Structure 1
Amino acid sequence: MKVLTVNLGRPTPSAHSDAADRLTGIGKQPADGPVRVADPGPKGTGGSGLSGDAVCDLRHHGGTDQAVYAYAREELDAWEKVLGRPLANGAFGENLTTSGLVVSHARIGERWRIGDELVLEVTSGRIPCRTFAGHMGESGWVKRFTREAATGAYLRVIRPGTISSGDPVEVVHRPGHDITAAMEFRATTTERTLLPGLLAAGDALHGETLRRARAYAADADTA
């Protein structure tokens, strides 16, 4: 298991961006050298966990629970067959394009050590937005991506470090529950009845998902 490329985005104008300045960092390219990764701080003020990577819409992206976005090369390959066109590493706006990991089925709270120092923890799947749809230029993209639930995974930084393309990935902790990034995604989009079950993942969940799951469970108890 390894990181094929570490991908960074620069601010680029986009008519589809929800940022006030209409810029987006979704168009990511492989970095030339090592990249420092650290906790960027709370959502709304903190952007990407990767040094040199742009997050332009801080209302919806970035922050501690979405510090790093990973997507599997294997899943990109599957999408290439569906879309009938090549998808380069970074095509989905992912910071890490991996090999040997089925990222969408990583468990919430699963921890990865990358290189010698960095440790990341899976928090959630990725919900597609109109910026992503505009970037892809595919008809009905949000619905198609949602239907497939091949979401990739957002991760928080447990221990900062410097990483490079080609670094090995080791799963150093895998929780006993079966809540995956894809299941979290389905619970927060199309299958809300799954929300209470997400509580098995505890505080490892993305903070917004944890609050939503607790509220849904409380409402169900009083119904």
Structure 2
Amino acid sequence: MRLLSLNLGRAAAVPYTDQPQGLTGIDKRPVDHPVLVTAPGPKGTGGSGLAGDAVCDLRHHGGDDQAVYAVAREDLDAWERELGRPLANGSFGENLTTEGLDVSDAVIGERWQVGAELVLEVTGGRIPCRTFQGHLGERGWVRRFTQKGATGAYLRVIVPGEIRAGDAIRVVHRPGHGVTARMEFRATTTERDLLPRLLDAGEALHPEALAQARKYVARQGG
């Protein structure tokens, strides 16, 4: 398992985002130099966990629980076959393009060591948005991405560190509850009956998903 590509984005003006300033950093491009990864701070104030990476819409992106976004190269390859077009590393706006790691089915709370120091923890899956659809230029993309459920994974920073493309990735901790990033995505989008299962992941879950699951259970009288 390794970090195939390390990708950073710069703020750019585009016509397809509802971000107030019309800017997005979704167009991530591979870099060949080391990058420091740290916890960026609370959502709404902190952006990306990667130095030099732009996050423009702080309402929905960035912050400690979405500090890093990872996508498996294998999932990009599957989309290439389905869409009939090449997808470069970084095409999904991911910071980390991995190889040999099942990212979408990573367990919430699973921890990865990337390189010598950095430790990341899986918090949940990625919700597709208008900006993502505009960036890909595919009609009906939000629906297609949601149906497939290969969400990639958001991660928080447990131990900061410097990484670069080619670094090894090791799973150093995997909880036994079985709640995956894919399951969290399905529960919070199309299969709300799965929401009670998310509680098994506890505080490792993204706080917004955890609150949603607790609210659902309370309404059901559970």
**Both structures adopt the same fold (TM-score exceeding 0.5):** yes
CA distance, structure 2, for counterparts of residue 32 and residue 17 of structure 1: 29
Paired residues for 1:68-107 under 5 Å: 68-107=68-107
Correspondence for 1:160: 160
In the TM superposition, residue 102 of structure 1 has moved relative to its aligned partner by 1.1
Correspondence for 2:24: 24
CA distance, structure 1, for counterparts of residue 17 and residue 51 of structure 2: 22
**1:187 lines up with 2:187 in the alignment:** yes
1:103 match: secondary structure: coil
Kindly tell me the number of residue pairs found equivalent between the two proteins.
222
Q: Which runs of 5+ in 1 are unaligned?
A: none
CA distance, structure 2, for counterparts of residue 215 and residue 55 of structure 1: 29
2:145 match: secondary structure: helix
In the TM superposition, residue 31 of structure 1 has moved relative to its aligned partner by 1.3
Paired residues for 1:9-158 under 5 Å: 9-158=9-158
- Per-residue displacement from partner, 1:127-170 (whole Å, max 9, x unpaired)? 00000000000010000000000000000000000000000000
2:92 match: secondary structure: coil
Q: Alignment RMSD, CA only? A: 0.7
CA distance, structure 2, for counterparts of residue 135 and residue 2 of structure 1: 26
Among all aligned residue pairs of Structure 1 and Structure 2, give the percentage whose two residues are the same amino acid: 69
CA distance, structure 1, for counterparts of residue 205 and residue 31 of structure 2: 29
CA distance, structure 1, for counterparts of residue 32 and residue 15 of structure 2: 29
- Segment of structure 1 superposing worse, 17-26 or 177-186: 17-26
CA distance, structure 1, for counterparts of residue 189 and residue 16 of structure 2: 21
In the TM superposition, residue 17 of structure 1 has moved relative to its aligned partner by 1.6
User: Which residue type is aligned with residue 218 of structure 2?
Assistant: A
Q: Which runs of 5+ in 2 are unaligned?
A: none
TM-score by length of 2: 0.99
